[in-house]
Structure 1
Amino acid sequence: MSWRGKRKVEKPKSEEETSSNKNPKLESSDDSDNLFVCEISKNRRVAVRSWQGNPVVDIREFYVKDGKQLPGKKGISLSMEQWNILRKHMDEIDEAVAENS
């Protein structure tokens, strides 16, 4: 069964909380291994969660329905292999961003 619709997401109380080293657990009825990492904009978040028994880095947009923030379809879940490739090329990405800024 998909995690969508079953996972409750709590918005952090302040920006200070998101920059600390603590990673508050997301409330989830099906998987207690979901960790909130950071909020990168009003409706975009990064989390680490388990998908089919494997950890993934989930970068996702959220939407509000009936006063609750829910995960949307727009987003990407990176496997650990994909995440490590991205991390390996971070310096190159930063250089390209600097050149195009």
Structure 2
Amino acid sequence: MSKRGKNKDEDYASEDEEPNKRPKKSSKADDSDDAADDIVVCEISKNRRVSVRNWQGRVVVDIREFYVKDGKQLPGKKGISLTMDQWNVLREHVDEIDKAVAENS
């Protein structure tokens, strides 16, 4: 199987957790309750946004594409959820990223 076809949950798992285990949702009502807890920080473009949310009891920074279905904006598969540790590493390297962008512009 190619890497593209595999479902990877590495962004969510710590070393002591099994990465492919996800809790099952009991109903659609639970999904809407989770969405209500999202804090949309900014919209990067028409269909992309950055939000902070609680996922499995952890706070994550979610950078994700959205799509419209039946008049509702829903989160797509394309995106990344960063744990607080990952977010802090990214923040520490913002100046280096900016410098690399400037050099390649």
| Alignment partner, residue 59 of structure 1 | 63
Give the number of the structure whose alpha-carbon radius of gyration is greater: 2
Q: What TM-score does the superposition give when structure 1 sets the normalisation length?
A: 0.71
Equivalent residue, structure 1, for 2:97:
93
Cα deviation for residue 43 of structure 1 reads: 0.3
Which runs of 5 or more residues in structure 2 are unaligned?
Answer: 1-23
CA offsets 1:50-77 (integer angstroms, 9 cap, x no match): 0111100000000011111110000000
CA change 1:92–1:7 in 2 (3 A) is farther
Letter of the structure 2 residue corresponding to residue 41 of structure 1: S
Matches of 1:41 and 1:53 in 2, distance apart?
Answer: 28
Given residue 74 of structure 1, which amino acid in structure 2 is its aligned partner?
K
Report the aligned-residue RMSD.
Answer: 2.1
Kindly tell me: are residues 49 and 82 of structure 1, through their superposed partners in 2, closer, same or farther at Cα, counting changes over 3 Å? same
Structure 1 or 2: more helix by fraction: 2
Q: Distance in 1 between matches of 2:74 and 2:35?
A: 16
**7 and 46 in structure 1: CA distance in 2 versus 1, 3 angstrom threshold:** farther
Residue among 61, 71, 75 paired with 1:71: 75
Using the aligned pairs only, state the percent identity: 73
Change (3 A) 1:78 1:87: same
2:76 maps to a residue whose letter is G
- Could you say what secondary structure the match of 1:29 adopts? helix
Alignment partner, residue 8 of structure 2: none
What 5-or-longer segments of structure 1 have no aligned partner?
A: 9-27
Following the alignment from structure 1 to structure 2, what is the Cα–Cα distance between the partners of residues 37 and 93? 21
